[in-house]
Structures are given as structure tokens and as C-alpha cells.
A and B are shown apart, each in its own frame.
Chain A
Amino acid sequence: MRGLFPTDAERCLPIRVVGDADDVDGYLGGMAPAGVGAPAALSYFLTIRLATDPDQYVSIFVAEYEALASVRAHLNQPGLVWFVTHRPSPRGQSTAQASRLSPHGLRIFPEGEDWLDDGEGGRVIRSGHKLGGRPHLIRETTALRRGIETAAMEGFSYVLQVDFPESDDDPVSGPWPFGDGIFGAFGRAPYAAGDWRWWWDF
């Protein structure tokens, strides 16, 4: 299996929310892919292509906002956010864990720098949705910094970042599970249920 995200942490694959279609690289909101589930208390969030040869996707399920709020700005183990790695699957019909977000597709764009011009002569780590790169930390708390350093030593890489939708994204409606903030996931091969760490902040 070959991970999609660049091995160079200064490079990333931007992602955009698009209309729900067949030729997309993932889903956001709506119903989870057929045959993909998580602990019952969690709701579907998104699915994104993770690797090729063979194709692998990761679907992410999340807890209610107030529960997530309690672990904000920390690097967390799976629990309130659940990761399921699976083969390609169309959207399912079950509403049991359906997202409260409207259904959309996700499209991965060509690799680019993980830096953004901040518009004032400096540069910042890319915010927004992306595969790979480094986390755009809204606030580098001591706890989060230590968690990331530990994860790096344990072989985790920054796999996915999903930010609050932007004006270029397909219009999303419904309560964003991470407030109006950013969600990020670290992962390591073989991307089993325990091979993930995640953070969020706003």
C-alpha cells in the first residue's frame, strides 16, 4: 500500500469539498459508506482516500460536540473520534449513524507547498483541508506540542487536516462537528484502529 500523502512534510495535497458525485475521492456528511460503521454513539463525519495499490480509504466518525470540546487542543487517542480503514465503498443507505451535515464529495488536488503566504510578508503552515503536510495549530499549547512530539517519535505522520468549510467549498449545511475550527489526524501504518491520533481546535 502506498500512502497518498507526500513524505515531505513541507508538501501536501489540498482537498476541497465538492458536490456529491461518483468520481470523488471521498465523502463529507450524509451517510457513511456501505458496510462501514463505528461505536453506536458516534456519527459519520467523512471518508477520504488514504492510499493506492490497493485503494484504501479512511472513514471518520465523531462524538457530539460537547464531548469533543472537553479534549480540545490535546493530541488524543481514538475514542471520541473513530477511524475505520476500508476498501472503496459507495455511500450506504443506513441512517443509523448518518451525519447531520449535508452530503458532499471530497476531491484531492495536486500536490503543493504546505506553506501559505500570510499576505503580510510572512508565511504560515497551510490551514484548510489537506492530506499530509504539518498541522496548522491555531494555538500551540504545551500539551498539544508534547503530544505531537511524542507521536512523531512513535512513527506517526500528519495524514489529514479538515478545516471549517470555506467559500470555495461546496456549501455545507449542518452543525460542523468541530465548532468552527480545525480537525487533524496523525496516522501510521498499517492504519488500524489504534494507529491514529487526532486533535482539534478553534
Chain B
Amino acid sequence: MILRPWSAVRLAVLALACALLPTSAQASLTGLGTVRDAIPELSTALPRELPGPCEGELCGEIEVPQPKTRVRGFELDLYCRLGGEDGLSCRPRQVWAEEYGEGTSDQSLFTGHYFDTETNLYYAKARYFDPQLGRFLSQDSYLGELTEPPSLHRYLYANDNPTRYFDPTGHQAVSPETLRAWEEYNRQHPVERVGEAAVVEEPRSEGRGFWSRLWGAITNPWGAGQEVGESAEALAAKGLNADAPLGGQRATDADAVRGMSGLREGDAERLAQGDRGAVRRGVAVAGGAGVAVGVTAAIEYAEGKALEGVASLGSSFIGRAWGRVRGFFSRGATAVEGVSILRPRQGFTSEGGEFLDDMPFSRGSAPSREVIPSGELAPGAAPLLPGRTGLREFDIDLYRNFGGPRTGDQLAGHEMLQNAWLKAQGHTGRRGVGAFSRGNPAVALSDEMHTRVGIEQAKLGLNDPSRLRGMGAAENIKLNAQAMRNAGVPEHVVQTLRQEALKHAGTLPN
């Protein structure tokens, strides 16, 4: 029997479990601390210090991840069984997402970053993270620091220590302490708002990030191929590559090594051929290795050999950081509705929906940011002089607002849901006419970038009228996103415009 949390069946099983379990275990079923008692398999892996008293819907339930929670490309579920001497035994079960035949909705999951089901990649703002490879797909523009060897590996996520560090921007692993310093700066320097700002997407941090992280640390066996701090020689003896398979960089010390042995010889080719099964069976994918650190550490913690990373998993992470990172796991985009400009941000969205621009690369210091002068953006402002603009490149606004007073800004408004597609589908008779054309979100591009995007569009066949006629909105948006990506438009801009374009497409009549 496979149990779905919060289901009637599950509640019935839990009630039965209460009847079957010893009295001490029954009493503890009212809080999270009961999990250790009720599910022996978890007892050595759960942190000793648990996140406070029973509250809300946690009460009376065995706290497990949401059904089918996606973690690094897996779905998690709880597989429980009645009978036998234990009465109730439950094991976490993980299956590939594909086995459920789902995955059509985008989700913000592990690490709080956004999982794109179209690409099966995590969008970590500055870069994409491939959960199958366990690596970012591109090198970090931040070169790292010699004093922190893991930071020199420019494909690693969060110094390959995700139980300790976060990487809110895709550039830099930050500790809870650093995050706290940024939050403090944010409180002292409130962002000047323009018009009535509203968060486009509510932060989605409650529960899922933590539980995904914890559950992954407990259950992911894909990191079993390596141990913390193994040397390059030890890895080589296991048949694992000490060289980074994607970047060709070599390990700089033991800490870095542990995240650099992700793939066996030929695995990149196997992945490229879609043979993920062959890879996942025998190899410690580097992403798994990150979790393996958590597994190993959790076990050692349980045995009284606490490591720094584990301590943070148990107490520091939960007790101090968790409350402070609420609201930080969002996509980093805020709509300023009063003036309708959407300015994609690479920085994280802190509590309250405020946002910061590019994160600094000096650890522990306060982030820099730019305050938008409200006078430039106010609706009805005086016409701008040639060469002066209220828009910056990559700002997003509605197509109707790219003319008129913004004439002279030398920035083109480029729609991701092509106006040509709107015309081909009969949603608008003419360019610039009607709400569907004029209300189409567009991004401000420089002349050079606009030209490059146009060339990439042509390569993808997006200038073929018959093709546009037979194309759905989602496909049009997807291909145009690819064209922008190929042209070099920053990913966070592509993602933000994509979301806006999808929302606009949702307003079109069927």
C-alpha cells in the first residue's frame, strides 16, 4: 500500500498505527519527534534537535515530504506497511519523476530554486543547475577565493555542502551568518519603491525546501560512491574521475575533490544518449555527492561524531537560519505595477518582497543595490530626450509603452510571445493594435542584442508564417525563450519574461 500524506487512507493507517504502537510511541505521534520512534529506519538519520513543538497540520501526522515531492529529479513518497512485529513500518520510496508521468508544472523545490520541467533543470538565477549531472551547466563568473578551495570549483553548487550553505544567486555559496548580515543590511536600507509594487510570485519556502533537503539527505543513495574528503587517488581507485567532467578543472584539495568525481568515464555520453539508468545505478553523480555528504554526516552525527555540516543540519540550520530564509526562496522578480515595469533581478527576494540587484562577491559584506529613481518611471512623465530613458536594457514593460515618451531611448521592445504569432492566430489584426498586441510583455533590448535575437529566431524557424499558424502559445514562448537564450540574453531575464508571456497567453481566448 502506498500512502499519500493527508489522505483518508493514511489517517486511518495512522490511527491503526497508534493502536498498534507502544504507548510511548503513540504519545509521540503528536509531534515530529515521533517519527524517529514510529519509523525505525529513520532513527539514525534524523537530527537530534527538532524544529520546535507540534504546530498546525504537523500535529497528529507523521511529517513526511509532500507526496511526489521532486528532489534532484526524483519523486519522493512514503511507503508504509502494516503488520509484523513493528506494527507499522514506513520507508521512504523514491522513483523517477518520469515514472509518474507527471512533471508538467514548474516548481520551486530543492534549495528553493525553480525547477523547469521543460528542461529538467533548476534555474538558479545566474545559471542552470542540472540535477542529473549535479553540476551547474556553466562556470561561475565568480572566480572563487584561494582561501576557500571549494569556491574555486566553478561548477559546484553551494561549495558542495548544501546542508550548510545556500546559493541564492547562482554565484556564491553563503552561510546563514552571511545571509543574516544581508538581511540586516536590507532592513537598514529599505528599497525605494515605485508605484504600488507587488510580488509577482509569492515566496514558496514554507516546508518544502527544508523537507526536500532533509529527505534527500536521508534517502538519496546516489551519493554512495564516495565519502567525504576522499583523495583523488582514492576516487581513481574506485573508478571515479577526479577531474571535473564538465570543466576539466582539477581538485585543489580534499574538500573540493569530493564534489569533483561525479561521473565515470563515458557517463557524459551516456547521459547525452538519454541512458540515465546506466549512470544512476553505479555512479555517484556529483549532485548526489552533495547529498551524500549529508547522509554520511547525518550518520556520523547520530554516532556522536558531529561534523560542522551536520550540526548545521540539526540545530544551526533549523534553529537559526530557517526562520531567516523565509521568503528568500523566490524567483527574484518583482512587478512594479504602478508603472508596469518589471525589472528582473539576479538577487534574492528577501522577506517582504523587496529585491536586491547583483550580489557582491565579498563574503559577509552587505549587498550593493540600485534604487530606481521614481521620477524617471512615473506614468505620464515628460517626454524623454533622445538618448535618455526610463528603461534600462532587460527591463520588461508592456509593448504599448515602448513608443511615445520613450522614443529616443534606443531600446527596442521585444516580445517573447511573438506579435507575428498573435497575428497568425488572429488574436490581433495588426501590430500595435488591440489589447493582446499592446498588452504583450516585452523586454527592452539594445540594438545589437535585438539583432542577435532576431537571427536566432530565424534559425529556429520563427519567421515562417505557416509554422506560426500551426504553433501553440506555449511552443512559441518556449522557442522564443530559446532564441533569446542563444542570443545571450541573461537567463533570469528570459525566465522572468517567459513567466510574463505565459500569463499574457493565458488571457487569450481559446
Q: Which residues on A are within 8 Å of B, measured CB to CB? A: 65-66, 69-70, 72-73, 102, 116-120, 124, 126-128, 136, 138-142, 163-169, 171-176, 178-182, 201-202
Contact = CB atoms under 8 A, between A and B. Distances in A.
Nearest to B434: A119
A125 B248 CA distance: 56
Contacts of A166: 423-424, 429-430
Contact of B430 (A70, A73, A102, A126): A126
A163 to B, nearest CB: 7
Contact of B438 (A72, A119, A180, A202): A119
A72 B454 contact: yes
B148 to A, nearest CB: 44
A167 B433 CA distance: 14
Contacts of A124: 432-433
B296 to A, nearest CB: 54
Contacts of A73: 412, 447
Nearest to B420: A180
Contacts of A178: 463
22 contacts: A66-B455, A73-B447, A118-B432, A127-B431, A127-B433, A128-B431, A139-B402, A139-B403, A140-B403, A141-B447, A142-B410, A163-B430, A164-B465, A165-B423, A165-B465, A167-B425, A168-B429, A173-B465, A174-B465, A179-B454, A180-B420, A182-B431
B463 A118 contact: no
A181 B469 CA distance: 16
A127 B464 contact: no
Nearest to B414: A202
A138 B430 CA distance: 12
A94 to B, nearest CB: 24
Given A120-B400, A141-B410, A164-B420, A179 B433 contact: no
Contact of B413 (A117, A139, A174): A139
B419 interface: yes
A182 to B, nearest CB: 7
Contacts of B434: 118-119
B440 interface: no
B27 interface: no
B451 A173 contact: no
Nearest to B451: A69
A63 to B, nearest CB: 13
A120 B428 CA distance: 13
A139 B426 contact: no
Interface residues of B, number: 41
Contact of A175 (B407, B420, B463): B463
Contacts of A164: 420, 423, 463, 465
B465 A172 contact: yes
Given A116-B430, A142-B408, A65 B451 contact: no
Given A126-B430, A173-B464, A173-B465, 9 more contacts: A72-B450, A73-B447, A127-B430, A140-B403, A141-B447, A164-B463, A173-B466, A179-B458, A180-B420
A182 B413 CA distance: 15
Nearest to A177: B463
Contacts of A167: 423-426, 429, 469
A176 B418 CA distance: 14
Contacts of A180: 418-420, 457, 462-463, 468
B438 A118 contact: yes
B466 A172 contact: yes
Given A165-B423, A167-B423, A173-B465, A119 B435 contact: yes
Given A72-B454, A124-B433, A176 B463 contact: yes
B195 interface: no
B386 interface: yes
Interface string B361-390: 000000000000000000000000011000
B461 interface: yes
Contacts of A65: 455, 458, 463
Contacts of A126: 430
Contact of A165 (B424, B438, B461): B424
Contacts of B435: 119-120
Contacts of B426: 167
A136 B430 CA distance: 11
A200 B266 CA distance: 49
Nearest to A124: B432
B168 to A, nearest CB: 36
B451 A136 contact: no
B457 A136 contact: no
Given A66-B455, A141-B447, A142-B410, A179 B463 contact: yes
B454 A175 contact: no
A110 B450 CA distance: 36
Nearest to A120: B438
B457 A179 contact: yes
Given A72-B451, A141-B410, A173-B465, A128 B430 contact: yes
Nearest to B461: A175
Contacts of A182: 431
Contacts of B464: 173-176
A26 to B, nearest CB: 17
A178 to B, nearest CB: 8
B465 A136 contact: no
Contacts of A202: 454
A173 B433 CA distance: 24
A168 B433 CA distance: 15
A49 to B, nearest CB: 23
A25 B431 CA distance: 24
B465 A140 contact: no
Nearest to B402: A139
Contacts of A70: 451
